Structure 1
């Protein structure tokens, strides 16, 4: 059997066109790798870090294909092709790790589980009642609402809040819960020069087992020109001044940063997001209806175990709602 002839490199205009494709893609790959290392430490790196991984995967895959088809088999061409293929795999892995859930069917809650939801309806006014009715479908046992607007004013609340649910409106954030609310207060609401407004709220509910669930609700500035590395340093100072009453079991809110951010690391307090094998569907939350960024986060600590996580398009706001199914903590004797 005759050996397969080696692929010949392109010549002339076709080669020039291939170079015009591969060189920019290679430069983008170098910048993207640097941004994955720096994450959102600086403005330039966070702008690259925020680009959806599936987009970068498509760009790198195309560059690797062009390099493979155009430059033949010399060693430099092989190295370039392998490098672009590796970056393609890296970006695909980031997409699969953070942006989509692997569960084919969303986890159903049992009587021993706690279902916690969060949504940022962005200060609804005239449509507050409609937002409340949309939230009812996914609120579970505990719902944290960032920027509730008029949703919890008496006239609106009585129309949509289900019977048996308690609620507390703190202005910047509200909680509605089927579980007893033990504590609910704003820890910090601070406007920082050249950064923006940060607020933290502390909530405690009593789980079905009788054990308390400590919830830290947060909201971070949204301005894209504020480096999240700088914001993380500011958050570190705030947490040091506030001194949390206890280690949080759940950290939830509109973080305005993507997975892997320095801000998430600062706020996590030992909590972590649901792994992809405990999540289902599309996990990005902003900007609805074509959400490409996962900037709303829900993290859980060691006293709770993830059973499921997903997001919902409620038809209002630029944010999708998020919902987590967690095992109840054990009552310590």
Structure 2
């Protein structure tokens, strides 16, 4: 089976989808001739032409607004917002139009579109290229929110997102783009040898949205994570020797609550890990759900390990990230509680 980076898997997903369905179009800033700032769309314009893969002006509001119109008309746009930090001018279009079309039209119109966005830090991009805004979208009824952690899932989840009848926010962790992240280190590591490149089947396959997966079986504590933090959680479990079960959520909305509840009821403890800030981060929703559904099985308070409640700190980027040391401390405290 071919081994690919996440960039290659994402490109493959768009290639397969465009080849399967002529209604699939790809556009955004620099995604055509240049192939995208991270090269996720490289070669698609040459293969499918300028009417199906093309560049857009530097206007996120315009990109998303045009995509909504295309989707309502019957196309399936897969657009790229160059960095998740750039999406805010388009937020009104996403919330007020894309998320509500099905409801406002009583099902007469749908909005089958995907908004791809590189998310999170790890490239020393500073405050305007490193944010993790997933919680802003999980609050919005009518959207679906996806965060893959490996190339195999990235391709399958993106194909499923493109084929979905509703708008999907597809967040791509930049630290995982060119090879899996070695979660044992609090600084960049080259080569990334801990986790090899993912095996990605050729051709069409899809990974269902709304289904989490157990990345590591365990009996003592449940770790809920997604994206890059899956690898950090694995490293923390290995370094502490704690028998942790790691749930890779993959889809934040809809959320696989059944998988979460089953794991926490088995272990009796829960640690939530994400890169975004603590206050009103998605981990707060996860903690509330675990408290609601697993209260009588919990043997310790639910812990959250997250980024700081500050604007993204460029100079302290690798201290800002939850690393195996911080996650390991939370695991030990949870086990001792």
TM-score normalised according to structure 2 size = 0.23
Q: For the pair shown, which has the larger CA radius of gyration, 1 or 2? A: 1
